[in-house]
Amino acid sequence: MVSIEDQNKTGQKGRTWAFCALFLSSIAISACADPAGQPPVASSSPVTLTIGLPVQTGEDPLHGATQAARLISREGLTLPNRDGRAQPRLAESWVESTDGLEWRFRLRSNAFFHDGTPLDSAAVKASLQRSLKSSDLDQYPGLSDIADIQTPAKYELIIRLRTRSTFLLDDLGVSILRQSPGSPALGAGPYQTITSSANELVMQSFSKYYRGAPKIDRIVWKAYPTVRTAWAAMMRGEIDFLYEVPRDAVEFIEPETSVQVFPFLRNYEHAVIFNSNRRPLDRAVVRHALNYAVNRASLVDRALRGRGRASSGPTWPLHWAYDVTVPEFSYDPARAVALLDAAGLPPLSRSSNSNNAPSRMHFTCLIPDSFALWERMALIVQKDLARVGVDMRIESMPFSEFNKRIVAKDFDAVMLEFIVGNSPSRPYGFWHSGSKQNFWGVQNQGIDLALDGIRRATNETKYREEFRNFQLQSLDDSPAIFLALGETARAVSKRFQVIAPANTDILPTIGDWRPTDEAERTN
């Protein structure tokens, strides 16, 4: 996720990246083997992990590496788990008042910024106050509930709220940074960036990291033009960690004795999102018909090679409050046809545009160039819709133009990925009618009330009720054809022991990894 401070630097492009899928990760180390028959001897040379990172946008080759590197160079007070529960990071613990309006945080006394400055309450307050002044605050709605920040002791912070907010802990995952005039912002993560060139970014371990100095001394990010060229580089031994394993290569890689593969479900969802102000897409009955027309199970098999999960709404299915009993859109083309008939869209109506085939209705879906998976998904959706007499024209363009069209709301529909987890504060920013990130023109009182209900819930029972209500409201007046969440995989050389929870992204845990030979010596 892109931090508020990062957004300010990258401007509008950065803001759009917030909902495009650019969570990147990959890592590995090259270590010296011990002489055969001799006791293991620690190497005095630095342990280096080289990461191969595919370039997806055709723009700055290291844009993705810069974003991913922030996941291991910056931290917040908290970090949501895969199930949405906030976990301590730079904050050691916290206590909530009975009315939910005051939160007392105990900071870690052994946490430091990368220049060695203590991460005390005054520094945290200054960082949060900069975030509160950001024009991108909509990405962190829980922060906008803050009324006051106090520092009663060096490592104690008090946050007072205007009104109760369940999003506060989620959004305190925003990066805590130290900023000095004329100098880059400094984080407090396990690694810090030391050099950056056109195609390579180098990081070094931070010896004063509060969880202990990392065992991997250096991380080198290298950009590659495609996933396949990065994979070939790994097979040649040029890199140790492959950020993304090609879906059709997972079975081939898994038997490889020198490589370990770590699959996980990404918390980004593929969707065809409608401009709710464009006719006839402004009508709920039409959007329902289009949802019933798409075979999501087939799409997961054909586009994602079976490595994903079909979805019908903008909620994270691994969240602790997710209700699995809420129904989803089935594949029912006959029902789609009946709904289109009821909407007054007769079969084979002709368009004045000679480029459009005779159909019930026509609309254009934008996709960015060089996003092969998105294009493949769009083509599958296009064919499904054509079977019920709907003509979805696909228009591709450079990524920068794609961004501009979305921000200007100049589209009928767009194919993209957007973040759905791990906190409901993320979908709040995209679908609430009052959010600046709501480029889709969604104005639905039921969705707003459900999202506000989650945000102001007084207990877990109420939270679950409102979360379920959001699931139902998103089905009742779906603003998109929500398609699927994709599974991806990271590949790492077995020279390293990867320490990470099962079925999660391993990138944020690099600070806990170690060379395999060292792990064997300490076990």
- pLDDT, position 518: 64
Displacement of CA 499 from its chain's centroid (Å): 21
Of the residues 188, 219, 241, which one is the last residue of a structural domain? 188
Strand, coil or helix: what is 270? strand
Q: Which of 143, 168, 188 is the last residue of a domain?
A: 188
In this prediction, residues 180-196 reach a mean pLDDT of 91
Say how many Å lie between the first and final Cα of the chain, rounded. Answer: 35
Distance CA 159, CA 167 (A): 13
CA distance 383 to 298: 12
Is residue 12 in some structural domain? no
* Tokens encoding 472: 């139902």
Question: What CATH number is attached to the domain comprising 83?
Answer: 3.90.76.10
Give the pLDDT confidence of 205-214 residue by residue, as tens digits: 999 999 999 9
Do 287 and 360 fall into the same domain? Answer: yes
Same-domain pairing of 403 and 301: yes
Q: How far is CA 38 from CA 34, 41, 353, 472, 494, in A?
A: 7, 8, 78, 64, 21
Q: Are residues 440 and 522 in the same domain?
A: no
Interior angle at CA 193, CA 520 and CA 498, nearest 5: 25
Which of 494, 487, 488 minimizes the C-alpha distance to 515?
Answer: 494
CA–CA gap between residue 9 and residue 175 (Å, rounded): 14
The model carries a pTM of: 0.85
Phi, psi of 16 (to 5 degrees): -70, -35
Q: Which residues contact 352 (CB under 8 A, 6 or more apart)?
A: none
Q: What is the mean pLDDT of the chain?
A: 86
pLDDT number for residue 33:
35
Q: Are residues 54 and 84 in the same domain?
A: no
**326 and 338 fall within a common domain:** yes
Give me the number of domains the chain comprises: 3
HSE-up (13 A, CA, CB side) for residue 33: 5
Q: Which residues of 118-131 are buried (b: 16+ CB within 10 A; e: fewer)?
A: bbbbebbbebbebb
Specify if 211 maps to a domain.
yes
Helix or strand holding residue 418 (H, E): strand 413-419
Q: Could you report the per-residue pLDDT of 95-130, keeping only the tens digit for each?
A: 999 999 999 999 999 999 999 999 999 999 999 999
Same domain, yes or no: 45 and 112: no
My answer on whether 317 and 339 are in the same domain is yes
Neighbours of 499 (CB within 10 A): 14
349/375 same-domain check: yes
Residue 337 has pLDDT above 70, yes or no: yes
Residue 258: what pLDDT? 82
**Comparing 146 with 54, which gets the higher pLDDT?**
146
Q: Give pLDDT, residue 365.
A: 97
Instruction: Give the pLDDT of residue 11.
Output: 40
Q: What is the pLDDT of residue 446?
A: 95
Angle between helices 4-17 and 63-73 (to 10 degrees): 140
Domain assignment present for 5: no
484 CA to centre of own chain: 14
H helical segments located in 133-183 = 167-171
Mean pLDDT of 168-191: 93
Q: Does residue 479 have a pLDDT over 80?
A: yes
In the prediction, which pLDDT does 229 show?
85
CATH at residue 336? 3.10.105.10
The continuous run of DSSP H or E covering 66 comes out as helix 63-73
Under 8 Å between Cβ of 111 and 190: no
CATH of the domain at 514: 3.40.190.10
Judge whether 6 lies within some domain. no
Q: Is 147 left (phi over 0), alpha (psi -120 to 50) or beta?
A: alpha
List, for residues 393-428, the tens digit of each pLDDT value: 999 999 999 999 999 999 999 999 999 989 999 999
Residue 1 lies in a domain: no
Indicate whether 86 and 111 sit together in one domain.
yes
Q: Is residue 65 part of a domain?
A: yes
pLDDT at 62: 61
Residue 235 lies in a domain: yes
**pLDDT: is 329 or 41 the higher one?**
329
337 & 416 share domain: yes
d(CA 207, CA 188) in angstroms, rounded, equals 11
Residue 231 has pLDDT above 90, yes or no: no
Q: pLDDT class for 17, splitting at 50, 70, 90?
A: very low
pLDDT of 356: 55
Provide the pLDDT confidence category of residue 358 given band limits of 50, 70 and 90. low
The boundaries of the domain holding residue 96 are 75-188
Beta-bridge partners for 153: 156
Q: Which of 148, 167, 188 is the last residue of a domain?
A: 188
CA-CA distance, 85 to 463, in Å (whole number)? Answer: 13
> Which range has highest mean pLDDT (24-28, 30-34, 79-83, 134-138)?
79-83
When pLDDT is cut at 50, 70 and 90, the band that residue 197 belongs to is: confident
What are the two backbone dihedrals, phi and then psi, of residue 229, each rounded to the nearest 5 degrees? Answer: -70, -35
**Strands 413-419 and 361-368, bridge-based pairing:** parallel
Predicted confidence at residue 63, as pLDDT, reads: 64
113 located within any domain: yes
- Give the pLDDT of residue 139: 85
Judgement on whether residues 372 and 391 belong to the same structural domain of the protein = yes
Tell me the three-class secondary structure of 351-401, residue by residue. Answer: CCCCCCCCCCEEEEEEEECCCHHHHHHHHHHHHHHHCCCEEEEEEEECHHH
**Shared-domain flag, residues 408 and 318:** yes
DSSP state of 138: G
